[in-house]
Amino acid sequence: MFRLDHKIALVTGGGSGIGKAVSLALAEQGAIVHILDLNISNAENAVHEINATKGIAFSHKVDVSEQQELRSVFEKIGKHDILVNSAGISHIGKADNTSAEDFDRVINVNVKGVYNAIYASIPLMRANGSGNIINICSIAAHVGLNDRFAYSMSKGAVYAMTLSVAKDYINEQIRCNCISPARVHTPFVDGFIAKNYPGKEAEMFDKLSKSQPIGRMAKPEEIASLVVYLSSDEAGFITGSDYAIDGGFMKLNN
């Protein structure tokens, strides 16, 4: 079950964090994986890991916020079956202390980046006769989080785009779903804690972990496993759905 042999997958932000875990998991299930990342070194390292286990992967340096740059890469790759939009950035701030520059930066990556990838992908999927788009969203699209104004806004847009794309292309056999994680333990989290809470790293890690009722953060591999399922033929009846993978955060935090 859940094999992806002969399928071609594109993963934006696939060189680190959740995106890297997704790239590795898709390759392990037999997919040919194209890793698109602004940090080409990260992308190449992920490709090396995949190739070392006899998987097949390729790296591409690309800025998802630049539509023509992204389209050129997609057209070069050509036919593909799966698109995973994982590229994204975070931001800390409320409405009255988020600068216009930071607001635009979050929109350009988290919103326009997803739109640009979908825009480039749909014609190729249409020509192929089917396709599967998976967007990495967030619980921030659904619940109020402290000091995450711009980030929450951007993930709300990703959720809305997921529904719209699923509706618009259902008759062309193009599915679109999204996944909404709570906190995921990635190098970004460790860096954030070290930068903002020097000397209190262990205390803050424990506090952030326990904000999920299950008592810990998610592992990137757990998000990747859900991506694998949604990418598979076994999930062929699923479109227009959002999957919370949040350790009970949205329903059990009371």
Q: Per residue in 47-58, pLDDT tens? A: 999 999 999 999
Is residue 59 exposed (0-12), middle (13-18) or buried (19+ Cβ within 10 Å)?
A: buried
* Mean pLDDT, rounded, of the chain: 96
Residue 235: inside a domain, yes or no?
A: yes
Spatial strand order in the sheet of 174-181: 56-61, 32-37, 8-12, 82-85, 131-136, 174-181, 242-245
Q: Can you give the pTM of this predicted structure?
A: 0.96
**Residues 117 and 210 grouped into a single domain:** no
Stretch (H or E) spanning 97: none
- Residue 87, in any domain of the structure: yes
Domain membership flag for residue 254: no
Question: Which one of 151, 159, 169, 243 is the catalytic residue?
Answer: 151
Residue 201 has pLDDT above 90, yes or no: yes
Across the range 171-181, mean pLDDT stands at: 98
User: Is the same domain home to 97 and 203?
Assistant: no
| Active-site residue flag, 197 | no
The domain of 206 spans 185-217
Mark whether 172 and 55 lie in a shared domain.
Answer: yes
Same domain, 192 and 125: no
- DSSP code of residue 219: P
Q: 223 and 213 in one domain?
A: no
Q: Are residues 196 and 102 in the same domain?
A: no
139 and 204 in a single domain? The answer is no
pLDDT (average), residues 215-231: 97
Average pLDDT of the residues in 229-246: 98
Q: Kindly state the percentage of the chain with pLDDT values over 70.
A: 100
Residue 27 maps to a domain = yes
Same domain, 194 and 146: no
Confidence at residue 182, expressed as pLDDT on a 0 to 100 scale = 96
Does the pLDDT value for residue 192 go beyond 90? no
The answer to whether 43 and 36 are in contact (CB under 8 A) is yes
In a domain, 253, yes or no: no
One domain, residues 144 and 129? yes
- The answer to whether position 2 is within a domain reads no
Decide if 1 is inside a domain. no
Q: SS3 for 64? A: coil
pLDDT at 253: 81
Q: What is the average pLDDT across 114-122?
A: 98
Cβ atoms of 177 and 130 within 8 Å: the answer is no
216 pLDDT higher than 70 = yes
Mean pLDDT, rounded, for 144-161: 96
> In this predicted structure, what is the pLDDT of residue 188?
84
What 3-state class would DSSP assign to 181?
strand
Phi, psi (degrees; rounded to nearest 5) at 4: -125, 30
Distance CA 124, CA 72 (A): 12
Residue 254: band (very low, low, confident or very high) from pLDDT cuts 50, 70, 90: low
Q: 93, 68, 77: which is closest to 14 by C-alpha?
A: 77
- The verdict on 198 and 144 lying in the same domain is no
Q: Is there a domain that residue 252 lies in?
A: no
CATH number at residue 134: 3.40.50.720
Calpha distance 146→174 (Å, rounded): 35
Q: Write the pLDDT tens digit of every residue in 86-113.
A: 999 999 999 999 999 999 999 999 999 9
Q: What is the mean pLDDT of residues 138-156?
A: 95
> Are 133 and 36 found together in one domain?
yes
* Cβ pair 24, 51 in contact under 8 A: no
The structural domain count of the chain equals 2
Could you tell me if 204 and 157 lie in one domain?
A: no
Residues 182, 186, 192, 193, CA torsion sign: positive
Mean pLDDT of 128-156: 96
pLDDT at 195 over 90: no
